[in-house]
Amino acid sequence: MDERKTVLKLSDITMQFGGVVAVDNLNLEVHKNEIVGLIGPNGAGKTTAFNCITGVYEPTNGSIEINGNVVIENHPQGKMKDTYKGRNQGKYTNTLTMLPDKVTKLGVARTFQNIRLFKGMTVLENVMVAMHMNQSESVFGATFRSRKARTEEHSMREEALKLLKKVDLYENRDDLSTSLPYGKQRHLEIARALATHPSILLLDEPAAGMNPQESDDLMNFIGRIRDEFDLSILMIEHHMQVIMGICEHIYVLNYGGQIADGTPEEIQSNPAVIEAYLGGDE
């Protein structure tokens, strides 16, 4: 198996909303500098899995390790004890929750399926917002422009500009974020995620709505930032060309459950995957 260090590990993650099991017993590992794909038909629970990792949802059961530490863990409680339909009930006993901003501070950054840029702000400001959490000046110091606030602001601006140069958005730095063309908005969202200094990057359908040429560029771009920023990447994607092109390991979900995992070649010839995507024989 893979000798590299595991940076993100999901164990038995189950997310149940009322009577609906959106993610059912998902086990997933991302190793250092690996690009991992998460695929599945619509409604398979991919984005829900992302929301569990980033702390938007509290999983019903299971645990999540980031860089070797368990940061999120839960087990069915209260009413859920009786209505729980998943497996491994009783295996976990702790309750650890984490808000999305804390998860981001641990080095997990994400992008969104439907672009969520800050509309009223320029490209540069969008990136600088992501650096806000790393500055240490108090609100008083920042308001009255203390020496520390000024140096921090200056270094934030320099770093943001450097980052924008790397993602080819330097010329657009003073444009409103929403005035950018679609492909560049995607790039900006990734740049904004990179500004939080992540070690793990979660990309939610980065190639959605892109033509083949743009998807090719995106594949190169993702490979490039992985090397340049020393990242491990977990991505949800529907474009098979992109997934098969850059992912080293792929997990397939269907109806919340995990139906396969393996290298792109294995996945392509896996009968369960073909059945999920194309429908089985009658």
Q: Candidates 12, 58, 65, 153: give the one binding another protein (CB under 8 A).
A: 153
Q: In 163-248, where do the E strands start and end?
A: 200-204, 232-236
Q: Candidates 100, 223, 262, 264: give the one binding another protein (CB under 8 A).
A: 100
110 sits near another protein (criterion: CB under 8 A): yes
Question: SS3 of 168, please?
Answer: coil
Region binding another protein by CB under 8 A among candidate stretches 103-111, 207-215, 225-233, 250-258: 103-111
**Total residues in contact with another protein, by rule CB under 8 A:** 38
Residue 76 CA to residue 90 CA, distance in Å, equals: 8
Question: SS3 of 235, please?
Answer: strand
156: tokens are 């934030």
Closest to another protein by CB, 69 vs 114, is: 114
Phi, psi at 50, each rounded to 5°:
-60, -45
Residues 189-218 that bind another protein (CB under 8 A): 192-193, 195-196
162: tokens are 């450097």
**Residue linked to tokens 């995620």:** 193
175 sits near another protein (criterion: CB under 8 A): no
Minimum CB separation from another protein for residue 227, in Å?
24
Region binding another protein by CB under 8 A among candidate stretches 22-30, 77-85, 144-152, 220-228: 144-152
Residue 197 CA to residue 134 CA, distance in Å, equals: 9
Residue 250 CA to residue 206 CA, distance in Å, equals: 16
104 sits near another protein (criterion: CB under 8 A): yes
Minimum CB separation from another protein for residue 203, in Å?
12
Closest to another protein by CB, 194 vs 252, is: 194
Residues 262-281 that bind another protein (CB under 8 A): none
Question: SS3 of 19, please?
Answer: coil
Residue 199 CA to residue 7 CA, distance in Å, equals: 8
Residue 53 CA to residue 65 CA, distance in Å, equals: 9
Residue 106's identity, in one-letter code, is L
**CB neighbours (10 Å) of residue 190?**
20
Phi, psi at 223, each rounded to 5°:
-60, -40
Q: Candidates 12, 58, 65, 137: give the one binding another protein (CB under 8 A).
A: 137
Residue 222 CA to residue 206 CA, distance in Å, equals: 10
186 sits near another protein (criterion: CB under 8 A): no
Q: Candidates 109, 164, 194, 233: give the one binding another protein (CB under 8 A).
A: 109
Residue 24's identity, in one-letter code, is D
142 sits near another protein (criterion: CB under 8 A): yes
Q: How far is CA 51 from CA 33, 129, 184, 193, 204, in A?
A: 22, 21, 24, 15, 10
Region binding another protein by CB under 8 A among candidate stretches 6-14, 23-31, 82-90, 150-158: 150-158
Q: Candidates 6, 9, 118, 226: give the one binding another protein (CB under 8 A).
A: 118
Residues 50-89 that bind another protein (CB under 8 A): 54, 56
Closest to another protein by CB, 51 vs 60, is: 51
Where on the chain is the footprint of another protein (CB under 8 A)? 54, 56, 99-101, 104-105, 109-110, 112, 116-121, 125, 128-130, 132-135, 137, 139, 142-145, 149, 152-153, 156, 192-193, 195-196
